[in-house]
Structure 1
Amino acid sequence: MSRAEFPIDVLLPRIRDSLADHPRLVLEAPPGAGKTTQVPPALLDAPWLQGRKIIVLEPRRVAARAAARFMAEQRGEAVGEGVGYRIRFDNQVSARTRIEVVTEGILTRMIQDDPALEGVGAILFDEFHERHLAADLGLALALDVQSALRDDLRIVLMSATLDGARLAAFLDAPRLSSEGRSYPVQLAHFPARREERLEHQVRRAVEHALATHQGDVLVFLPGQREIGQVERLLAGRDPGAGDPDAPFAAEVLTLHGELPVEQQSRVLQPDPDGRRRVVLATNVAESSVTLPGVRVVIDAGLAREPRFDPNSGFSRLDVVHVAQASADQRAGRAGRVAEGWAYRLWPQSQRLEPQRRPEIAQVELAGLALELAAWGDPDLRFVDPPPPGALASARELLQRLGALQGEAITSLGRRMLALGTHPRLAAMLLAPSDADERALACDLAALLEARDPLRSRSDALHERWQALAGFRAGRVPGDASRSALAAIDQAARQWRRRLRVAAPPPSGLPAHQLGDLLAHAFPDRIAHQHRSDPYRYQLANGRSARLFDDSAVFGEPWLLVSELRDDPRDARILRAVPIDPLRLELDWPQRFVDTDRVFWDADARRIAAVRERRFDRIVLDSRPLAAPDRSRYAEALVDAVRQLGLAALPWTEGLQQWRARVRCLRVWCPDLALPDLSDAVLLAGLDDWLKPALAGKSRLDALTESEFAEALKSGVDWSLRQRIDTLAPARIEVPSGLQRRIDYGFDDAADVPLAPVLAVKLQELFGLADSPRVADGRLPLTLHLLSPGGRPLQVTGDLRGFWERTYPEVRREMKGRYPKHPWPDDPWTATATHRAKPRGT
């Protein structure tokens, strides 16, 4: 096969030279430039590769196969010789293979199984802009290998729409850009009619494109379901299609990741008879594959992307709007061979997000946490680090599943990891030793991963499995989708082959047998019926949830909840199945415990002591404890303060002021290094400063004011307490000779001190030239100057200015109102007093 020319050809020498000088590279190249199929072969003879192989990471199976075939044809070879690919359930490589195109999960397994990556000289991450979790993990692992074991390993990030500057800075790598090969594309928004369904809007757009423009039409749709709806409509098989006998002007083809290889190949090759084609595709056609002859793109602007579904505990594919970068890349497909048109099926006023959000920020992370535990280093370098809260929740789940002990992976965890599925499903698939139960586990894994096959809103998971069993026997329930059941049956067969399960799937079973198995996937969602409310259940994770009034599982004492609508006010059970409590005791004996509990009873506002029988956090039985351990009372009283707040403690006004003085001085005099006495810090440290003062007490009100004051001050030594009194005194002597209180305050919302206030009668300050100061003279007091009757006359922080400018006016007004008190002409030299004038003066 003669080699075609590509825009990236002129850049290939610079790519080789860059990788000779630097082990990492960021390569930006638009669709059609040839980066996927031209860069790997161009590197094979580079001296730094030393005859080792190149791994090319492709996000999608369709693209992986297509890229490997194209490179093999260029070399005049069959796939599996010099160029091969490895994807799930399909391996086309040999001992001679130098370029391996792999999908993301395959790369992770390669690195985990061989951290030194023996025989691999370079890893090329294609279409990295898609930011799949597996690609981010693969890059983090590869960087760790490069740093610790293989400084000769080359790493290249490639894409058409990378944030190249940011990634180059992250990798400390050069950045190269290639020209593309494209023609102008006219953009237009094809409006939907009122209440028009997507598939009908697509049909109108396709008919318009075929009638108005030349070439093939590529239609981007979110998934197989929508592809099927549009395909039936274009073929006239849909009841709403109009005239079913009207001939259609082009051949309709589909392209998605689940198609057989032969059908994928047919779409990627030109039509041998030159007929026009309409290709209905998911976002697999967005990049890395070339569809010949396309002159028109119709873009629904939608894609199915993983999002964490708290109802099920899994990440599921949701239909979302694509990012602007993806929309631009899709439109560019119309300009690969000539000028083209792109019709967008959303309003022109609608604004898209500029870039796709990384999956790591929006999916469930149990699989990632398990990979990190297997790697043994949780501190890998990620382009975007995993959210700490989501990662902590994932590790907690893995501990419940038995995959982690602390943060270390267990032998079960390694077996779960090898299955390459969600850890919940892996734990369930590995749990049974009986062949029939293993076959049932395969059914359940397929059911949980699939869309709901029933159209009814029944909450009984058992009904879904019965529909699957009926489908296998040739009896499809009226409210079931035959295509959905066929897909579930196919997935279950794949699981049985993978796990080498020889037993056929069961044709019937008691409902609780499903729950007994699912408990290994959802140990946190085992639920027990509440004693006083039969619709409410307590879950093993401590939460509670309620059945709907028409629930099909009402009355069951134990349930396994597979789907839950989490709501802080009232969580709802969406799907559940009964569990046999005897099986629970056989499978989970260590989770049934008897404990003595001493706790704060918030309703009775007292300490309570009970002996409880529990399954995890489900209370099965509770009885009063006759002789509780009084040493645990202090812990219960600390819990009371956590529930009631710091206001429940015996604060005095003096202690409140002392706390405010300390908080102010932390800001005014940071060199003192005073402790933080904010509410949040005090509540977080109750065990350290308050619990010792509660020892031996059985009531919160038994804590005296002096004991509480000493507990609060326990973090401040004696010399520092003296400094506090000096720098922020509680009282100050004024010229009248009396001690007056200073009020300190702190603005919690703004996290700043308030100005300290001295409220004092004006006559007591005669002879004082300037406002008094605190904090080593750093801060003047705000003076609230009072009348002889104690009413406010003036607020000022500048006493000198008050005497000079404001006092004469105050004197004229107040002298007649308070004639028995001194109002001298010269306040500077007058004698300060807190009394009225002597009689007769």
Structure 2
Amino acid sequence: MPKIDLSQINLPIVDILPEVLQKIKEEQNLILNAEAGAGKSTIIPLALLELFNSKRQKIIMLEPRRLAAKSIAQRMSQLIGEEVGNTIGYRIRFETRISENTQIEVVTEGILNKMMDSDPELKEVAIVIFDEFHERSIHADVALALARYTQQNSRPDLKLLIMSATLNQQLLATELKAKVIASKGRQYPVDIEYAGNLDQRLIAELTAEQVKKALKDDKGDILVFLPGQGEILAVQDLLRKSKVKAEIYPLFGQLAWHKQWAAIQPHPQGKRKIVLATSIAETSLTIEGIKVVIDTGLKKNSIFDPNTALNSLKTQAISQDEATQRAGRAGRLAPGKCYRMWTEIEQNNKSSHRLAEILHADLASLKLDLAARNIHESKRLFWLTPPPLDKLIYAENLLIQLEALDDNKSITETGKQMHQLPCHPRLAHMLVKSTENLSLAIDLASLLEEKDPLYKKAGADISERIQLLRILRGEKRLGRNFKKIEKIAQAYRVLFKIDEDNKEVDPYSIGFLLAMAYPDRIASAKRGNNAQFQLSNGSIAAIGHKDELADESWLTVANMDARAGMGKIFLAAPLNPKDLMPLLKNRRNVRWDFDEDEFIVSQDLSIGNIRLKSEELDEEPDSAEKRKAIIRAIQLHYDEILNPIADFLNFLEEIKETNLETEYADMDLAYLGITAEKWLPEGIENEENIVKCIHELSFSDVLKNLINRSHY
């Protein structure tokens, strides 16, 4: 085991190392509140080697981003004079550098969950470190919940260390019964200048002008925070056209690794740098030479809507703690300057802390994780922020549709196979079920995990992308976008032990495979409505009139938006009507006609909500069938059934004023709709006027009960 005298390292964290090591010995859990520049990410794991130095006492440290995981492992290895993969290694998705000698593993957050699949008790792990926990990613929250569950049920000797720069730690310390140690950072003064209101329509132009001003007025390299890749490339283009006297480096998650690495290193010839970055540069990374930060105050979040089953990328304002983190990047090495492209009044009105990702994320993977561990109620776990009820219900219903859970909500054999795969349950189901066409399913899954390589350059037919991928791969001339897709496909082929296949593809085969991933997005062309389709989940979507898929009678939709009234289809594939046979369900159906307040029983041949044939039956449904029909109607038509409820609307305003940083800030009629099975009174299905009974409910009491339960 290499030795290093950490006391000789000039970082603030060194001053509290004796206290940290002593508390780790004495306590199960510890919270380390370390300011920016303290050195916690590199020094703490190395210091812990003093306590845990056998092969059965590994130190696992979670990082929120791949670039941070690799660079921190690299830095620690340099400090002890080794190559990465010896004493210190890393694991990220589809890439691992460890050996039998590895004692410290730096991993991205989702990796720990997969490690616990094969070793639920983490038998060879002494301590799990959660670095940058204030970022509140869903993977970190889930990892902490599962690690705490393991600690409480089978591994009382397992240590948990939560490290953060801006975390509000009072609740966390109470729940974990953890001591809190604080460390000062190495932060030089940063002069904050508020540059006024930012018109988002002109974000690229205004940001480029601010950069040119900073180049003229200030010294040192410049770090610019922009919401996403599109804005970064637009600003880069404007600056290059202006021929600024500095080297420009983009920095975002989809960028090739060597380009990300170049962005955080000093320029080899010592030239001045401009780094255009997303939130990836907020924490964990030290970008050498930065003395000026220009902050647009914006970020992009993926927001999942369980009512449409779609993710949408929304540009949102950052919180006060994020603004503090960003400004601090200018003062890591010397006094610096931060230009905030908003007003001081706006700063004071920002929320104090960022929302936890678990509040707006798709929870299907989380629900499958819990089911695989026979945890049927999420409330059995510790959550700093409980997962929202409506999103859990949606996730559960989706997993049943994907055959991952049975009707009793227990994991199936198919679900167990899906859980072993490193992808969303939708894609996992497609891969598990595509044994006869696995190579095509792999190419399809890989393409869907990346951004559309032909965005705005082709129609919606996904088979064009797959065919082009295979042609370019066969000719060994993959471009940048297709290289990313092929890297994922190659990892899947290794996992499944199959060779690449570059044969011509049948578009209808792609449509059928997609139906395994998106059974709720099988789409039937509407009669008389050119290019409009009804989806099996009940929604309506349209495709461009000139698109080649517009004349197809059946599609499977892989990507669309969630516009009010009618979505727009971006990626899809045609379905052969002959392939629909295994998907058809001939079943007895009970519907509640809420306009007439009556129940209709029919024998339907259908795919989801697409009824191909229906015959009404002169039968009376039982109480259970009636109740299910009412719940389904409320979930589909909540805006019509629940809209007249003034009591709900008034109470909603009241709770929003006091719960701005919880799931209830986004609570609306749709939330009530999807959670109907949790609040609908027992026996209401037997009332004479069901609609009237619903409207007479005290929805303030309903919401209070939902808030108290918060998750299940």
Same fold (TM over 0.5): yes
Q: 1:302 to 1:492 in 2, by over 3 A?
A: farther
> How far does the alpha carbon of each residue in 1:411-455 deviate from its partner, in whole angstroms, 9 at most, with x for none?
2222222221111112123322234x6325523541464247332
Q: How does 1:158-173 map to 2 (within 5 A)?
A: 158-173=163-178
User: d(CA) in 2 for partners of 1:22 and 1:469?
Assistant: 55
Aligned counterpart, 1:372: 370
1:63 aligns to what?
68
**Following superposition of structure 1 onto structure 2, how do residues 53-202 of structure 1 map, counting pairs within 5 Å?**
53-191=58-196, 197-202=202-207
Say if 1:602 and 1:640, in contact at 8 Å, map to a contact too: no
Identify the residue that residue 351 of structure 2 maps to in structure 1. 353
Amino acid at match of 1:39: I
Distance in 2, matches of 1:467 and 1:69, equals: 37
Alignment of 1:663-812 (within 5 A): 684-686=681-683
1:263-313 CA-to-partner distances (Å, cap 9, x unmatched) read 444444444543322222222221111122221111222223332156984
Going from structure 1 to structure 2, the CA distance change for 1:57 and 1:489 (only over 3 Å counts) comes to: closer
- The runs of 5 or more residues in structure 1 that have no matched partner are 477-481, 646-679, 692-699, 701-711, 713-745, 752-841
The whole-number CA distance in structure 1 between the counterparts of 2:700 and 2:283 is: 50
CA offsets 1:391-411 (integer angstroms, 9 cap, x no match)? 111011111111111322222
Counting only pairs closer than 5 Å after superposition, residues 470-485 of structure 1 correspond to structure 2 as none
Q: Which residue of 1 aligns with 2:586?
A: 593
Show the counterpart of 1:279. 275
**1:43 paired residue number:** 48
Q: Do residues 383 (structure 1) and 398 (structure 2) align?
A: no
Structure 2 residue aligned with 1:251, among 223, 247, 251? Answer: 247
TM-aligned CA distance change 1:62 to 1:575, over 3 Å: closer
Distance in 1 (CA, whole Å) between partners of 2:678 and 2:423 is 42
1:550 to 540, 545, 550: 545
Shift of 1:547: 3.6
Looking at structure 2, the residues matched to 267 and 564 of structure 1 have their Cα atoms a distance apart, in angstroms, of 33
CA shift in 2, pair 1:544/1:205, >3 Å:
closer
**Structure showing greater relative contact order (alpha-carbon pairs closer than 8 Å, 6 or more residues apart):** 2
Shift of 1:567: 6.7
> CA 1:619/1:567 → structure 2, altered by over 3 Å: closer, same or farther?
same
What does residue 618 of structure 1 align with? 610
Is the CA contact 1:312–1:564 (under 8 Å) kept in the aligned structure 2? no
Distance 1:611 1:265 in 2: 61
- After superposition, the C-alpha distances for 1:35-66 in whole angstroms (9 at most, x for unaligned) are 11111122222379997111111111111111
Give the partner amino acid of 1:184.
P
Q: Residues 637 and 134 from structure 1, CA distance in 2 versus in 1: closer, same or farther, beyond 3 angstroms?
A: closer
Residue identity opposite 1:363 in structure 2: A
Moved more, 306-315 or 200-209: 306-315
Tell me if structure 2 keeps the 8 A contact 1:439–1:503.
no
The reply on whether 1:339 has 2:335 as its aligned counterpart is: yes
Q: How has the CA–CA distance of structure 1 residues 66 and 608 changed in structure 2, closer, same or farther, with 3 Å as cutoff?
A: closer
> Residue 757 of structure 1 corresponds to which residue in structure 2?
none
Aligned to 1:756: none
Cα displacement string for residues 486-511 of structure 1 (whole angstroms, at most 9, x for unaligned residues): 655665555555544424344453x4
User: What letter matches 2:203 in structure 1?
Assistant: L
The answer for the alignment partner of 1:409 in structure 2 is 411
**Structure 1: how far apart are the matches of 2:626 and 2:116?**
52
Which of 302, 305, 317 aligns to 1:306? It is 302
Give yes or no for contact 1:131–1:359 (8 Å, CA) kept in 2: yes
Question: In structure 2, do the counterparts of structure 1 residues 232 and 527 end up closer, same or farther at CA, with 3 Å as the change threshold?
Answer: closer
User: Residue 447 of structure 2 aligns with which residue?
Assistant: 446
Supply the AA of the counterpart residue of 1:365: L
Residues 190 and 331, structure 2, Cα contact 8 Å, conserved in 1: yes
1:310 touches 1:564 (CA, 8 Å); kept in 2?
no
| 2:423 paired with 1:421 | yes
Q: Which moved more, 1:155-164 or 1:311-320?
A: 311-320
Structure 1 residues 70 and 444, CA gap change in structure 2 (3 angstroms): closer
For 2:611 and 2:200, the matched residues in 1 are separated by: 51
- Specify the SS of the correspondent of 2:147: helix
Contact 1:459 1:551 in 2 (8 A): no
SS of 1:620's equivalent in the other structure is strand
CA distance in 2, matches of 1:576, 1:120: 45
Letter in 2 for 1:81: N
1:192–1:201 Cα contact (<8 Å) kept? no
Q: Structure 1 residues 204, 147: CA separation in 2 closer, same or farther (over 3 Å shift)?
A: same
User: What is the distance in 1 between the residues matched to 2:531 and 2:245?
Assistant: 58
SS at the partner of 1:434?
A: helix
After superposition, the C-alpha distances for 1:220-255 in whole angstroms (9 at most, x for unaligned) are: 223333333333333x3xxxx24xxx5x43333333
> Deviation string for 1:728-761 (max 9, x for gaps)?
xxxxxxxxxxxxxxxxxx997999xxxxxxxxxx
**Counterpart in the other structure of 1:434:** 436
**Contact 2:519–2:536 (Cα < 8 Å) also in 1:** yes
Give 1:804-823 correspondences, 5 Å limit. Answer: none
Instruction: State the secondary structure of the residue aligned to 2:339.
Output: strand
1:232 lines up with 2:232 in the alignment? no
Out of 5, 9, 13, the residue aligned to residue 4 of structure 1 is 9
Say whether the 8 Å CA contact 1:23–1:152 is kept in structure 2: yes
Quote the Cα distance in structure 1 between the aligned partners of 2:37 and 2:259.
23
**Alpha-carbon offset, residue 635 of structure 1:** 8.6
1:509-532 deviation per Cα after TM superposition (whole angstroms, max 9, x unaligned): 3x4322111100111222334568
State how far apart, in whole Å, the 2-side matches of 1:136 and 1:79 are: 28
CA-CA distance at 1:73 after TM superposition: 1.6
Matched-pair contact (CA < 8 Å) for 2:530–2:545: no
Normalised to the residue count of structure 2, the TM-score between the two structures is 0.79
CA apart distance, 1:27: 0.9
2:36 is aligned, of 6, 31, 37, to 31
Match of 2:161, SS state, is strand
Please name the residue that 2:289 is paired with. Answer: 293
State the secondary structure of the residue aligned to 2:31. strand
In the alignment of these two chains, the number of paired residues is 641
Instruction: Decide whether the 8 Å contact of 2:321 with 2:352 is kept in 1.
Output: yes
Query: Alpha-carbon deviations, 1:353-377, whole Å to 9, x = none?
Result: 3211111100111111111111211
1:576: Cα distance to partner? 4.1
Contact 2:293 2:330 in 1 (8 A): yes
CA shift in 2, pair 1:127/1:519, >3 Å: same
Contact kept, 8 Å, 2:532 with 2:543, in 1: the verdict is no
Q: Are residues 534 and 272 of structure 1, via their aligned partners in 2, closer, same or farther at CA, if it must alter by over 3 Å?
A: closer
Q: Are 2:581 and 1:580 equivalent residues in the alignment?
A: no
How many Å separate the matches in 2 of 1:158 and 1:129? 8
Listed one character per residue, the Cα deviations across residues 563-619 of structure 1 (whole Å, up to 9, x for unaligned) are 45557756666654331222222x44xx43254x67777788988665433344432
Once the two structures are superposed, the pairs formed by residues 442-521 of structure 1 within 5 Å of their partners are 442-443=443-444, 445-447=446-448, 449-451=450-452, 453-455=454-456, 460-461=461-462, 487-488=484-485, 491-492=488-489, 495-496=492-493, 498-509=495-506, 511-521=507-517
Measure, in 2, the Cα distance between the counterparts of 1:598 and 1:256: 50
Query: Contact conserved, 2:52 with 2:126, CA < 8 A, in 1?
Result: no
Q: Distance in 2 between matches of 1:635 and 1:353?
A: 45
Match of 1:814 in 2: none
Separation in structure 2 between the aligned mates of residue 207 and residue 138 of structure 1, nearest angstrom: 43
The one-letter code sitting in structure 2 at the alignment partner of 1:361 is L
Q: CA RMSD in A?
A: 4.0
Identity across aligned pairs (percent)?
35
